[in-house]
Structure formats: C-alpha cells, structure tokens
Chains A and B, each alone.
Chain A
Amino acid sequence: MGRPGTLLHVHSAFSFLDGVSLPESLVAAAAARDIGTMALTDTHRLSGLVLFLKAAAAAGIKPVAGATVRVAGDGGVLVLLAPGPDRYIQLTQLLTHAHVGHPRGAPAVERDALEEWGPGLVALSGGRRGVLDRLIYAGRHQAALRQAEWLRGIFGPHFFLEVGAGWLPGDRTVRRALQELSEHLGIPLLATPEVHYAYPEDFPLYDLLVAVRHGLRVEEPHPDRPLNAEGYVKSEAETARALGDLAAPALRGAAMLAERLEPPDLLGKNRTPRFGDDPDASFKRLATLAWAGARHRYGRQWRRAEARIRHELRIITDLGFQDYFLAVEDVARFARAAGIRFAGRGSAADSVVAYCLGITHVDALARDLLFERFLSRERAETPDIDLDFDARRRDEVAEYVRQRYGAGQVAAVATYQTFRARLALRQIGKVLGFPAGELDELAKSLPPRPLLQTEAAWEEVPELRELKVSPRAHELLRWAALAEGVPRHIGTHLGGLVISSEPLLTVTPFETSAKGIQLAQFDKRDVEDLGLLKLDLLSLRTFTALTDTVATIRQVEPEFDDDRLPAADPAVYRRLQAADTIGTFQLESPAQRALARRLEPDRYEDIVASLALIRPGPIKGNMVDPFVARRRGEEPVRYPHPELEPILKKTFGVVLFQEQVIAIASQLAGFNPGEADQLRRVMTHARSTAEMERLGTRFREKAIARGISPEAAEEVFQQMVGYASYGFNEAHAAAFAETAYRTVYLLDRYPGPYLTGLLNAEPMGFYPLDVLITEARRRELAILPIDIERSEGPYFYDHAARGIRVGFLAVKGLEEQVAAQIAEARQKPWHHPLQILERAGVRPDLGALLIRVGAFDRQRPDREHLLSEWLFANPLGLERSGAGRPWSLGERLHWEYQILGFGQSEQAMTLFRPGLKARGFLTAAAANNQPDQEPIRVAGVPIRPHRPPTRSGRLIVFFSLLDETGLIDASMNEERYRRFGHFLFSAQHRGPLSVAGRMRRGTLMVTAMGPVPLP
C-alpha cells in the first residue's frame, strides 16, 4: 500500500517571497510525513517543477504539476492542477496568458482565459486567499455561491472546495459555509494544508519575506502576513486534527483525487530540433560539413585530422548530438555571413569537429587537446558550446534563431536570482526597521563571505569594526543569513536560448523579460533535464571594441585585417614582459601583470599558461610558483613518471590543465579517455576518503598491470588527486589566448584606435573609465574634450590630432537619439550656440550637463553665463552684468567626474600634486621605477580593492592607486588590512589615499595608509 497522505497546495521558494523552501526540502519533509501524492503549486510559475519531479521520483512520491493563479479583478487565488500529461499544456497556456497579457510583476488570469483553457484541469478553491473563502469570510455568501457555480461550470466535476488546516480565525465559520456549498451544489470537499515552507522553524523567514514582498515593516499587519507557523508540511493526522468534523469527507475527497492524478511526462525526452528526416540524415549532413571544413582548415594536410574527426563523429553520433552540432554550426555560419565577430569558448575548443565546422578557432589537433574533456560516452551529458559574439550584435543572432525555428519554439533561458548577502541584509533590514543610511553603510562594508561567518568575525573585519551601527546589527545579520541563497526573482540568462522541436508551450510557460524578450520559466540545468536544445549566445564587449578598432584603423589603412596579424610579434611580448597591458583582454588585472613580470612571456604558450594560472584553482593548488620557477629555469623540470613527459612537457611537469589529468590516467593506467575524464570529475567533486581510496585502488591496479611500479603508480595518483580539482581547461585558455594576443597587438600598435574602441564598449574589463583615459594620456594621446560642434555620439579617434574625442554619450543619461538630434541640429547655421540645443529639443537638465562639462567652451567659454542663459528666461534680452569668471580646474574636474565619470581636463590627482610633491610623495610612474625594498610614499585614488582566494588561505588585499601618471599596484597583508582595511572597503571613506610602503617586484607592499587632505 502506498503512502496515504496528499499535499495539493504547496508553494516552494519558486513562488518568490511566498515560500522559502526548495522543492527538494519540501519533498524530504513530505516523505518523512508519509505523503504519497504531492503537487507543486507555485504562484504563476512552474520554475520549481524539474527539481520537484526529480526529488519526488527519488523519494517515491507521486508528483503533480500545478500552479496557484490570481483571478483578475480581485477574484482571489485558484489552485490549478494538471491531472495528467495531456492537460499540462493548458496549464502552460494559462500561465503564459497570466504573464504575457498583464503588466510585468502583476500576472493574473482573466475569467475568459479560464473558460477557454480551464476545462480538463483540476481546480481547488484556493484556501483562505481563495476565490470563495474571501467572499464567505466577508459575509458575501450569495456571491460565493455564484462564484462556485461559475467555477463548477468551467471545471465540472474537477472543481473542489479546498479546506485548509491553517488554524486561522474564522476557519470554522468558513468550513461550515463550504460544507453547505458542497451539499447545495454537489461540489466535493478536499482537505489539503496550504504549505509555504518545509518545517515550522522556517516560519520567521517566511513572515519576513512576505513583509519584503509588500514593503512592510515587521510590526505592520497585512492580510497576506501569516498569523502563525502552520504553513509547514503536515501529516494527514495533523491536517485531520485541524479540520474537526470535516476531516473524514475532506480527506476522502483528497484521497480520491490523488488516486487519479498523474505526473507530467516531461523528463527523459529529447526535444532537439532535427536537421534531417532521421538521425542518419543528420549525421550525413554533419559529416559532410565536417569533412568540407577539414579540407578548408588543413588544406592538403587534412588527412592528418581524419582519424580524429572520425573518432569525434562516432561519439557525437552514438550520443545523438549530431543535431545539436548542426544547430550551433548554423548559428556560426549566420554570424560569419553577417560579419558578426564571434568565437567559441570553453571545452568546445577541445573538438576538432567544432574547429572544422567553424564554431571554434582553436586547432585542437595541433594543440593535441583531448576531445573527451568536452564529450564522451561515459559522460553522456549534453555538451555545452558557448559562443561569444560582438555584444552590439548578439541580439541579431538571437533574432536569427527565432526566425529560423519559429517564435513558439525559441525562448530565453531563465535564471533564478537568489538573495545574496547584501540584498538579504538590505531587504530584511528594512523590514526590521533599520534606517536606510545605516543599512547602506553596513551593506557596502560587508566582506564577500556568508553572513553568518561575517557575524561571527565582526571584530576582525576593520570596515565593520569602524561602523557606528546599532547593537541590533548582529541580530539583523543572523536573520538575513536565513534568506541567503533563497530564490528571489526570475531573471534572464545572459546568453542562453532554448530551442525545441515541438512548441515550447508543451514544456514551459512564457514570461516577458524586462527587455521584452520571450522567457522560459526554467533555468539552464532544468532545460537540459527537459531535453531541450540550449544555445549559449554570449555577449563579449571585447569583440565590440575589436570591431570598432579595426574600423578606425581601416580609415587610414583600408587593407588592415586583424585576422592576419603576425603570429609572434616581438613587440607583443615586450609589452607583456613590461606588464604594460591595461586595457587588454584577460591580461590586464594586477595579478596577471604581476605574473607577467615574473614569467617574462616570450611565446604564445606563455599566454595560454598565464590565462590558466591566474584562476582560483591553480592559485589554491599551488601551481603558480613551480610553473614560473621551471619556466624560468630556476628549478629543474621533473615528471612524476618518464612516460608522462610528452603530456606534461608544455607545462614543465606541472599538471596545469584538466586535459593533462585525463591524458595521464589514459597513458599510465590504460583508462579510455572517457573513463579518465570521469575519474577527473570524481576527483574534482568527491572528497570522501572511501571514494578516493576506491579510485586509487583501481588506478594502481590498472597501472601496475601495465608494468608501472606500485610506488610510481601511488605517487602519480597522489599528484593527480592534488591537482585534479585545481586544473584549468586548456581549450578555454587557448580560445581566450587568441583574443588576448590580438588585443595586446592592437594596444601596442594602434593605441588610439584601440583605446577608443574600448571606451565605446564600456562598461567592460577590469578598470573604470578614468584609468583608461589616464592610460591614453600616458601614451601621449590627447583627450579632446566634448564639443557641441565636433563631438559625435560615441568617442572617436581623430587621426590628425592623435587624440580621442569625447562623445555626447559619455554624458550620464544622454541617449543615442539625443546625440543624433544634436548632430543634425548643428548642420544648420546658428547665431548662438544654444540654438543647437533648442533645435535638437534637448531637455534643460541635459543641456546644463553639456554646458557644465564644457561642450560650448570653444564657442562661449563663460560657462556660468551660458548656464544662466540656458536655464533662465530672458524675455527682455538684457546683457548679463559683469564679466564671467572662468572655472578653476577644481570646479571643472568636479563636474567632469560627476557627469562623465572621469577627468576630461586632467586626472584628479593633478590638483593634489603640488602639495604631495612638497611632502615627498612620488607619482605612480616614478614609484614604479623605484628599486625593490625602497621605502616610498604615493597617493592616488584606490581602484578595485579585492580579497581573492589565496593558496595559504590567509587574507591578502590587492588594489591599485591611480594618479595622473597611471597606476601603481599595491597589496597588504592581513595585519595591515586589520589596521587600514576600512580606508579601502568602508563606505564611510571616499577619496584619495596616501600610502607608504616598499616596492617588491612591481608591487607596493603597504605599511601605512591614510586619507589625503583636500588641497
């Protein structure tokens, strides 16, 4: 006999602020309470369904798909269940109608939509917030009767009067009325508790989240606030106790319904669109394209790749992924034809077929990359091919996909935004009545770690220690910690598009994203379980910058082609060795530049290795120091076993890449590559001693059988265990290295066009605008100020003046259309420059911003006077009294930083320089030339302070200081951080800092720090 209990009105955390537990947690609680049938009925969404179905299957609970909907016109809520797979689509249609037909954030179901799609679904009256109880509680019994008759007309015998077990005031009155309705209309009663969390102890968080939803303080009452902690997963006995006399018939009604409900048929299906009539046809098409591509990529040498391509095609076909590859190839082909810059990233670059199809640009054969890191029979997961596109044109590609497959079969993939520490603190703090200013300071001062850890280590975090907050702040952190990780709202995945061979409504409802895009209700993990094809079409602003850069260069060098750059330009490596790479792709961070100073790269492989080394894994795995020492010849290159030399030669014996772990297991122990990748993945994710021991035994046995000594087998295994979880994907590093090299070359040879391209592609990269502008000046490029007659919308490079002209779009809040109107308005003759703004219809506030940043300086240098003319009417046409005073540099910079975010005239530290110089402070440029251990003092604006993971686990702070000569990188240890960290991380401290310390290998090791007094 199955479990007797039923739960048919259950909200998970995917009801967003109307539930707190994840489906897995609810299922676990239900299983412990002997529940046999359970429906997930989140509000207006099915987002938790895949997790729910999987958890229920594992727990032996019959899962039912459902949703709670609000009936339009203040009609209360209704719980809808899909009684079986054939009715599921009605649920998705109703939910789509609720979202798409109503304003974002206020979904509702209209009565006529219920009449159209409702018949065949099961409907429950919704409990105390439901369509009937609300009327009954208000004493409107006749209205309740009419409502019940209407719903019975729609749903027929599938409409039930829901009786809850919430122990609320008025329950008995409502129950009596429901019983009368049931007897009068013949509508069955149905007992089910309304669940919003798994366990009673989850209640306070639920109450807080409901208060967040309604913007309430915790003391404020609201009909939706729960009165008690009875919204947990109840056993049948607990439900019966609450229902009194009605328990028997209502529980019987629930049991009878549960008997005939069936789960949706969603998982374990392949919904990939087909490119041929059958899999064979798709395979032939894929093979034809791959062979054609091989001939193009390898020319007459293509047979070198033949065995590898055959091997890959066999695996792709065995796993049934031929249509997936064809779909990605189709997108790549479109982008190429449309001239949209793109590249495949990630482990897809391990595939020679992907290279031959033009999906990736890394020759996996030449690099000897292992396909099985990407795809193998043993892994049998849907492969993940990420494509980066020029950010400005990525939506064109998405639109092509929509046209290609039909709008009903394509949607954006959802993401579930969860409460992060800061958001949880702000929102829960507001409910608990903390002042907004205090919350803001507290939130900005939070270190990047879980709130409970922060609360426990409060006194050790200087920026928190310095804060003057109420003693209740500790309590707030503890409450907010409960919300951390709970789904908060739905978002749009940055690049994910889901495509289905059948209408997507058979799987998911649609919503409309903030950008107006059709959005599925499932995230990337869910869509894989649903067998849908997911394309990752990502936006890469670096590609936008590159496209712009090339266009600028072609203005003077029409033949320039960045696909034909010299393969090993010495200037590129000189720049890398000098760590002069701010603005380049992936090589600009202080950590990368510090590595470059030590590594002294002089070949392409050094770039690939650098991109892999500066990652949390290799840093924690202690790979950086041995790699650098061996690369520099300061330490002998050793191999764990002589047979491994061919595999580890390129990384000097260090197991840096994930592909190497796979190759070692294959080479030494005879694992096939797919098995070896499984081994790597288990090593990465599983850390139990027993599991490791099992793996070790298997590895040793196989290695010894192949003639390896037991000692050597053990040593190699231990090294693999040590490295496996820290290694980086070589294919990904190689794919990024290609773009990185390109950007270093362009920065070196064409700094003006390249930096202009970067400025137009902002926000991107590691550094703010002021750093890039300072870099441009450092390279002796002029910053040509915004000019009402000369500027365009974007920045542009003036070849003749060797300068970057600031564009109108640099002004915060000024949009493209306004910039275009200004450009058009100035074509006609004018008597007074303000006529341009008037003709262009520029808003007064935007016009004032343009005047304040000097857009009219060439025509009317008196900004004060011009502002008066612009902002104040002068019907008498009077002349202004007295001559205008030119603005000081300080005044100009004040407005420039406010309006543009950078110093257009000068970098801000110029103002402080005379005083700093007199007190012996060095500029960043001078400091960077100081010998090691020299004590120095510098001052500048702190840039990107951060506390990355370190090998030792100790805390180290990295940051840079910006002044008018550029950046100086700095770091400080834990002890200094405790003394001075608040200057960098606390919201209370703003403005430039003076820093004392000693230089070591290009980095300032901080000994003291303090604010710089205003000049």
Chain B
Amino acid sequence: MRREGQSGASSNRRQTRMACQMAWQGDEPVRFFWRGRWRQVIRVQEAWLDAGRWWTGEKPLWFYRVATATGMYELAAEGAGVATAQIYRVYD
C-alpha cells in the first residue's frame, strides 16, 4: 500500500492490482498490454516516484498517469524500461 495523501498524492480513485506488459520509449511508457490488447498511451499526464513504506523494506515505485483512447490509468513500475508493471488505478 502506498502512502496516500503525502505530498499531495490523491486518494479517491478506484484501485486495482493487475499485471500488465509494458513498452517504453526512453523513460516513459508508450503502450501497455491489458485485458487481451495493447493500449496506446496518448499522453503521460503525470509521472512520480513513491518511496512506499520504506521502513518495512518496501521498494520504491514509479507511477505514471496515462491517457489512452479508452480512459485514464495509473501504472506502477519498479523503474523505466521494465517488462511488467501493475495497473494501479483505473479512472472511471
């Protein structure tokens, strides 16, 4: 669980935890594979780093809020370029 509410992080979103495959260009995601198809990233709206519960040994995660043709998603990855990330939130 990330530390909601810190440094302005928002918290009123529906959360999910599903793995997705990732494709990158430089440090930013360009598409991700979820529910049977690739979704093209139109824009990376925000990118941030969250240290998590470091006192429990939790690793930091990079978050990307991305816009696609089908909606807005938050992806959480251990770093740019990794093959797999998590769908952290889906915006209604």
Contact = CB atoms under 8 A, between A and B. Distances in A.
Given A167-B48, A168-B48, A172-B47, A223 B54 contact: no
Q: Which of A128, A137, A223: most chain B Cβ within 10 A?
A: A223
B6 interface: yes
Contacts of B50: 227-228
A227 B54 contact: no
Task: Specify the main secondary structure of chain B where it touches its partner.
Answer: mixed
A355 B46 CA distance: 73
Contacts of B45: 172-173
Given A167-B47, A169-B63, A241-B27, A227 B55 contact: no
Interface string B1-17: 00111111110000000
B82 interface: no
Interface in A217-234: 218-219, 221-223, 225-230
Contacts of A170: 8, 46, 48
A390 interface: no
Contacts of A218: 55
Contact of B51 (A128, A222, A226): A226
Given A169-B63, A204-B55, A229-B60, A128 B7 contact: yes
Given A169-B46, A228-B49, A221 B54 contact: no
B48 to A, nearest CB: 5
A227 B44 CA distance: 20
A203 interface: yes
Interface in A127-153: 128, 137
A170 B76 CA distance: 16
A864 B54 CA distance: 59
A227 B46 contact: no
A223 B55 contact: no
Nearest to B60: A228
Nearest to A129: B7
Contact of B7 (A203, A204, A225, A229): A225
Contacts of A166: 7
Contacts of B60: 228-229
Contact of A169 (B27, B48, B54): B48
B55 A432 contact: yes
Contacts of A203: 51, 54
Q: Which of A137, A223, A228, A229: most chain B Cβ within 10 A?
A: A228
Contact of B8 (A167, A172, A223, A230): A223
Interface in A154-185: 166-173
B84 to A, nearest CB: 21
B48 A221 contact: no
Contacts of B27: 241
Interface string B69-87: 0000000000000000000
Contacts of A173: 45-46
B49 A221 contact: no
A645 B53 CA distance: 69
Contacts of A167: 47-49
Nearest to B48: A169
Given A169-B63, A172-B47, A241-B27, A221 B3 contact: yes
Contacts, number: 73
A68 to B, nearest CB: 17
B54 A204 contact: yes
Contact of B6 (A172, A222, A229, A432): A222
A677 interface: no
Given A128-B8, A137-B8, A171 B48 contact: yes
A207 B54 contact: yes
A432 B4 CA distance: 18
A172 B9 CA distance: 13
A227 B47 contact: no
A519 B45 CA distance: 49
B3 to A, nearest CB: 5
A430 to B, nearest CB: 14
Contacts of A230: 49
B6 A225 contact: yes
Interface in B29-54: 44-51, 53-54
Task: Specify the main secondary structure of chain A where it touches its partner.
Answer: loop
Contacts of B53: 219
Interface residues on A, range: 20 to 34
A219 B6 CA distance: 11
Contact of A168 (B5, B7, B44): B7
Nearest to B54: A204
A910 B54 CA distance: 57
A478 B3 CA distance: 23
Nearest to A475: B55
B7 A226 contact: yes
B5 A221 contact: yes
Nearest to B28: A244
Given A227-B9, A229-B60, A221 B4 contact: yes
A170 B53 CA distance: 21
Contacts of A207: 51, 54
B17 to A, nearest CB: 19
Contact of B46 (A172, A223, A229): A172
A128 B8 CA distance: 9
A221 B4 CA distance: 7
A177 B24 CA distance: 27
Contacts of A241: 27
Interface in A389-447: 432
A223 B10 CA distance: 11
Nearest to B7: A227
A473 to B, nearest CB: 15
Given A167-B47, A167-B49, A172-B46, A227 B10 contact: no
Given A221-B3, A241-B27, A169 B8 contact: yes
A988 B47 CA distance: 52
A221 B45 CA distance: 24
Contacts of B51: 203, 207, 226-229
A168 B44 CA distance: 14
A168 B10 CA distance: 11
A227 B4 contact: no
Nearest to B5: A221
Contacts of B54: 203-204, 207
Interface in A181-226: 203-204, 207, 218-219, 221-223, 225-226
A277 B65 CA distance: 71
A228 B3 contact: no
A167 B47 CA distance: 7
Contacts of B8: 128, 137, 168-170, 223
A172 B55 CA distance: 28
Nearest to A433: B55
B80 to A, nearest CB: 11
Q: Which of B4, B7, B8: most chain A Cβ within 10 A?
A: B7
Contacts of A219: 53
Q: Which of A170, A203, A218, A225: most chain B Cβ within 10 A?
A: A170
B3 A171 contact: no
A230 B27 CA distance: 17
Contacts of A229: 49, 51, 60
Nearest to A204: B54
Nearest to B43: A172
Interface of B: 3-10, 27, 44-51, 53-55, 60, 63, 65
Interface of A: 128, 137, 166-173, 203-204, 207, 218-219, 221-223, 225-230, 241, 432
23 contacts: A167-B48, A168-B7, A168-B8, A168-B48, A169-B10, A170-B46, A171-B46, A171-B48, A172-B44, A173-B46, A203-B54, A204-B54, A219-B53, A221-B5, A222-B5, A223-B7, A223-B8, A226-B7, A228-B48, A228-B50, A228-B51, A228-B60, A241-B27
Given A128-B8, A167-B49, A171-B47, 13 more contacts: A167-B47, A169-B9, A169-B46, A169-B63, A170-B8, A171-B46, A203-B51, A221-B4, A225-B3, A227-B3, A227-B9, A228-B50, A228-B51
A-B residue pairs, 6 tightest by C-beta: A221-B5, A227-B7, A228-B49, A167-B49, A169-B48, A228-B51
